[in-house]
Amino acid sequence: MTVNRRDFIRILGAAAATGLAGCAGAPAVHSGAAGDLLPQRARRIVVVGGGFGGTIAAKYARMADPSIEVVLIDRDRSHFSCPFSNLHFIGKRDIGENEFGYSKMASTWGVKTVFGEVSAIDGAARKVILDEGFITYDRLILSPGIDFRFDEIEGYDAKRTPLAMPHAWKAGEQTRLLKKQLDAMENGGTVVMAIPPAPYRCPPGPYERACMIAHYLKTQKPKSKLIVLDGNDQIASKGKLFSAAWETFYKGIIDYRPAHKVAKADAQAMLVDTGVEAIKGQVINLIPSQKAGLIAAAAGVLGDDKRWCPVDPITYESAKVPRIHVIGDAASIAPMPKSGNAANSQGKMCAYNVVQLMNGKEPMLPTMVNVCYSYINPEQAVTISSVYKIGPDGKLTDNKTTKTTANIDPYITKLEAKYGTGWITAILDEMTS
Ligand SMILES: Cc1cc2nc3c(=O)[nH]c(=O)nc-3n(C[C@H](O)[C@H](O)[C@H](O)COP(=O)(O)OP(=O)(O)OC[C@H]3O[C@@H](n4cnc5c(N)ncnc54)[C@H](O)[C@@H]3O)c2cc1C
């Protein structure tokens, strides 16, 4: 079942006519909360966020116990996968191939899908608030991804700056815009890429992007160069592998400057300033610092750092608000990275343990997996894979990590590129079929 704006009005009309919950007698929890959009007739899990974590949590909760109703809410009718969006810059993958919708969530798994912006959460009353009204839950799973800390960069205007200096850190229009700017740039132009300090979404993602942009320049605009301003003291992930790849394939093209955090941006002059020097670029890919998706703050589940959401590493239940579980990029689940593969793993584990709790059973101890493929050119990729377990102190620990060897063996890295293509096909299929 899919609920859209017209259905909301229909449901609201029916609710008003029959005097159902959420009408005159119910206290207003938010100015936009018109009424109960889906009066609850069964035990219910609501999932907010239909990306890498949320789709999987919704689907696996239904598989684990079909007697529990699952409602999946996203602001958009389709989602663009960030994984493999960097390949758009070298023309290996159109960003349209990364877009998926939610029709099979309903038809295959019986998940109810609702499209709208969740503007607040009332944890005490167990209500998710949208403009059109509210939806009640027994347990809530939040997987809202990230938002940006624009305020850390002087001169950054949240609306205008990303149009001039795209971050492309939420895939879709931003990815297309950055590619268009690269295509329009003259041969001989300077591309500047600014990486925020960790933690941010996808630790190796910016360095993979540097490879893709450098490959593009090498093959299409050989007089151009790429200046990488890194807000971290060194490459934040797969350091030896990316250094070796840059040395092997992009010598003289990539100018890497660690410990260079952008403090100021001037979109009109196309200048970024690190406090030490101001650098001009014809194209500037400015990726701001990050925090949990805004709804996490509205739900009251942010930790003391005011950025990420502390959770129990077994059930993902928020340390701040009971019956709200947080997974994916928004959660603090160190040492797991903020990756789509991690969000997928957490989505399954969280769904199972939420169902266990709802059925009065003990939560299961998780074993988590993350594998991350990064392309260094169209045919070769490097990987990092880790297995995580709960340690004797009750915390999640990195049990075993393996990486591609640093000599960029052509046979192995071509195999890894092949596995990567299989991975993206399988994970997107799992989210959409
Ligand atoms: C360039 C790039 C490359 C990457 N490559 C890889 C890779 O190769 N492998 C990998 O594993 N990971 C990769 N990642 C990381 C991956 O994209 C994220 O870790 C993953 O998407 C996190 O999943 P999530 O469910 O937390 O958030 P998302 O997948 O972003 O989903 C969040 C959803 O919540 C919705 N939402 C948020 N707030 C609201 C609200 N208030 N109301 C309604 N809906 C809301 C959004 O619309 C969105 O659909 C990459 C990231 C980038 C930027």
Q: How confident is the model at residue 279 (pLDDT cuts 50, 70, 90)?
A: very high
What values do phi and psi take at 45, rounded to 5?
Answer: -110, 130
Regarding the beta carbon of 166 and ligand 1, being less than 6 Å apart is answered: no
Question: How confident is the model at residue 74, as a pLDDT?
Answer: 98
Taking 80 as the threshold, does the pLDDT of residue 234 lie above it? Answer: yes
pLDDT tens string 151-207:
999 999 999 999 999 999 999 999 999 999 999 999 999 999 999 999 999 999 999
> 72: which DSSP letter?
E
Considering only CA atoms, which residue is closest to atom 25 of ligand 1? 53
| CA–CA–CA angle 45, 140, 390 (5° rounding) | 105
What is the average per-residue pLDDT within 333-341? 95
Taking 80 as the threshold, does the pLDDT of residue 25 lie above it? Answer: no
Q: What residue ranges do the domains of the chain occupy?
A: 2-147+292-363, 153-288
What is the average per-residue pLDDT within 414-433? 97
Taking 90 as the threshold, does the pLDDT of residue 407 lie above it? Answer: no
Ligand 1 geometric centre to CA of 210 (Å) = 20
- Exposure letters 100-124 (e unless 16+ CB within 10 A, then b): bebebbeeebebbbbbbebbbbbbe
Considering only CA atoms, which residue is closest to atom 51 of ligand 1? 82
For residues 250 and 215, give the distance between their C-alpha atoms in angstroms, rounded to a whole number. Answer: 7
Pocket test for ligand 1, best of 74, 90, 373 (most atoms within 8 A of CB): 74
Centroid of chain to Cα 89: 19
Homologous superfamily (CATH) of 153-288 is FAD/NAD(P)-binding domain (3.50.50.60)
Give the nearest ligand 1 atom to 343 CA: 23
What is the average per-residue pLDDT within 223-231? 98
Regarding the beta carbon of 288 and ligand 1, being less than 6 Å apart is answered: no
Considering only CA atoms, which residue is closest to atom 53 of ligand 1? 169
Regarding the beta carbon of 75 and ligand 1, being less than 6 Å apart is answered: yes
For residues 236 and 143, give the distance between their C-alpha atoms in angstroms, rounded to a whole number. Answer: 24
Q: How confident is the model at residue 8 (pLDDT cuts 50, 70, 90)?
A: very low
End-to-end CA distance of the chain: 15
Percent of the chain whose predicted confidence (pLDDT) is above 70: 92
Pocket test for ligand 1, best of 175, 332, 339, 419 (most atoms within 8 A of CB): 339
| HSE-CB for 400 with a 13 A CA cutoff | 4
Taking 50 as the threshold, does the pLDDT of residue 149 lie above it? Answer: yes
Question: How confident is the model at residue 272, as a pLDDT?
Answer: 98
For residues 209 and 223, give the distance between their C-alpha atoms in angstroms, rounded to a whole number. Answer: 19
pLDDT tens string 52-65:
999 999 999 999 99
The CA–CA distances, whole Å, from 177 to 82, 91, 180, 242, 298 equal: 14, 14, 5, 25, 30
Q: Are 424 and 339 in contact (CB under 8 A)?
A: no
Regarding the beta carbon of 122 and ligand 1, being less than 6 Å apart is answered: no
Pocket test for ligand 1, best of 329, 345, 346, 376 (most atoms within 8 A of CB): 329
Ligand 1 geometric centre to CA of 148 (Å) = 13
Considering only CA atoms, which residue is closest to atom 3 of ligand 1? 83
Give the nearest ligand 1 atom to 81 CA: 17
Regarding the beta carbon of 196 and ligand 1, being less than 6 Å apart is answered: no
Taking 80 as the threshold, does the pLDDT of residue 262 lie above it? Answer: yes
Amino acid of residue 310: P
Regarding the beta carbon of 49 and ligand 1, being less than 6 Å apart is answered: yes
For 401, residues 6+ apart whose C-beta sits below 8 A from its C-beta are 384, 385, 386, 387
Question: How confident is the model at residue 33, as a pLDDT?
Answer: 52
Question: How confident is the model at residue 32, as a pLDDT?
Answer: 45
Architecture of domain 2-147+292-363: 3-Layer(bba) Sandwich (3.50)
| HSE-CB for 306 with a 13 A CA cutoff | 3
pTM above 0.85, yes or no: yes
- The mean of the pLDDT values for the chain is 92
For residues 164 and 160, give the distance between their C-alpha atoms in angstroms, rounded to a whole number. Answer: 7
Pocket test for ligand 1, best of 52, 77, 238 (most atoms within 8 A of CB): 52
Query: Which tokens is 308 given?
Result: 């990420």
pLDDT tens string 281-309:
999 999 999 999 999 999 999 999 999 99
